[in-house]
């Protein structure tokens, strides 16, 4: 695919997501977006991103990064770019407040005022409990030349606003992850904060499975907040952990997976990495996107009772999912490119 050529801009794509906060799932979304762009003919030197930690992001990805909290930096980044890509994640939701919706809507508006085309891929939408949140979400996605979502619930929410969206798996499913042997003597366990009752049920279910199978349990944190939650669950006696590993890359996860024979967890990207690694797994669905993933791959759910592990998706199915992500992503880039070039 050809890159943008019509206007003299430094960057073809400005990436916007929850980048630079130390959450592995969001960093993998950034990595996947960059890889998908490269596969469509957009090299890293033609991509920039907005980050909470610009210097770290530049070192990690080899692209230009701008401070997401600086209005001046946002303006500079937009002025130097042809399109703005909402690159995966649950950006428009108001679980705790409407601040996330306000921030991302504001950046979309700045981009549109400066003439950028806006597109979105791998999005989850909701929950949206406030009228303001719904209005901001409608305004942001209504400005997109193409929208891709990662779960049916999000497509239904946008559909209720009169906005069409393509459905494809999470962007991270497009990343190459080596299959683990699955012959270790550990269960990997992940819990996320903010859903204590569910985290406790997941911990109890994991511990019951470990005891009945004669296995140890290794805690896997995708963020510092996960690390604290796992430590809290262990100190409460709900799960006995052989240790807690904070993983900061898919390579870190693969090293842990090689020692494991299964996985039980809450975070979406923990479950995706476990599935791609070929580990038998069980999930704890704290929101629609996780529930949708578990339904898509027939992943067993734990509720604190007897927990069983489901077979992971086959390597062939994983390849099909990656191809589906790439197809919808390429459609989005074509939409942004054609409108930018006036074709």
Residue 48: CATH number of its domain: 3.40.50.2000
Query: Does residue 202 share a domain with residue 158?
Result: no
Question: Do 230 and 283 fall within a single domain?
Answer: yes
- Burial label for 145, CB within 10 Å (0-12, 13-18, 19+), is middle
123 in the same domain as 205: no
Residue 175 in any domain: the answer is no
Whole-model pTM over 0.75: yes
One domain, residues 139 and 244: no
> Does a structural domain hold residue 3?
no
Whether 174 maps to a domain, the answer reads no
pLDDT tens-place values along the chain, 343 residues long = 444 444 589 999 999 999 999 999 999 999 999 999 999 999 999 999 999 999 999 999 999 999 999 999 999 999 999 999 999 999 999 987 899 999 999 999 999 999 999 999 999 999 999 999 999 999 999 999 999 999 999 999 999 999 999 999 999 999 999 999 767 899 999 999 999 999 999 999 999 999 999 999 999 999 999 999 999 999 999 999 999 999 999 999 999 999 999 999 999 999 999 999 999 999 999 988 999 999 999 999 998 888 999 999 999 999 999 999 999 999 999 999 985 444 3
Shared domain for 333 and 270, answered yes or no, is: no
Tokens of 294: 């578990």
95 and 33 part of one domain: yes
Is residue 302 located within the same domain as residue 330?
A: no
Domain assignment present for residue 176? The answer is: no
The domain in which residue 245 lies consists of: 186-312
User: Is residue 72 located within the same domain as residue 215?
Assistant: no
State whether 60 and 118 are in the same domain: yes
State the total domains in the chain. Answer: 2
Apex CA 35: angle with CA 106 and CA 317, to 5°?
A: 110
């Amino acid at each position: 695919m050809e890159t943008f050529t019509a206007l003299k801009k430094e960057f073809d794509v400005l990436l916007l997501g929850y980048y630079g906060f130390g959450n592995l799932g969001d960093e993998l979304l950034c990595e996947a977006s960059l890889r998908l762009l490269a596969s469509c003919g957009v090299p890293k030197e033609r991509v920039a991103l907005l980050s909470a930690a610009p210097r770290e992001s530049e070192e990690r990805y080899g692209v230009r990064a701008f401070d997401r909290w600086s209005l001046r930096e946002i303006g500079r980044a937009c002025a130097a770019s042809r399109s703005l890509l909402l690159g995966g994640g649950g950006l428009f939701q108001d679980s705790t407040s409407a601040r996330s919706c306000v921030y991302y809507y504001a950046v979309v508006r700045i981009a549109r005022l400066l003439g950028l085309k806006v597109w979105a891929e791998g999005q989850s939408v909701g929950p949206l409990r406030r009228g303001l949140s719904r209005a901001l979400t409608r305004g942001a996605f209504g400005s997109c030349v193409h929208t891709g979502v990662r779960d049916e619930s999000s497509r239904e929410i946008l559909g209720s606003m009169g906005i069409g969206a393509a459905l494809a798996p999470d962007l991270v499913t497009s990343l190459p992850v080596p299959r683990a042997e699955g012959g270790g003597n550990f269960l990997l366990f992940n819990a996320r904060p903010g859903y204590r009752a569910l985290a406790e049920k997941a911990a109890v279910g994991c511990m019951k499975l470990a005891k009945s199978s004669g296995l140890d349990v290794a805690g896997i944190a995708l963020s510092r907040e996960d690390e604290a939650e796992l430590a809290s669950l262990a100190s409460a006696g709900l799960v006995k952990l052989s240790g807690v590993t904070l993983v900061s890359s898919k390579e870190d996860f693969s090293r842990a997976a090689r020692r494991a024979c299964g996985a039980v967890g809450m975070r979406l990207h923990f479950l995706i990495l476990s599935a791609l690694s070929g580990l038998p797994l069980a999930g704890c669905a704290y929101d629609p996107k996780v529930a949708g993933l578990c339904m898509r791959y027939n992943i067993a759910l734990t509720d604190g009772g007897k927990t069983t592990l489901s077979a992971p998706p086959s390597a062939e199915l994983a390849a099909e999912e990656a191809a589906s992500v790439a197809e919808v992503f390429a459609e989005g880039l074509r939409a942004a490119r054609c409108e930018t070039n006036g074709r």
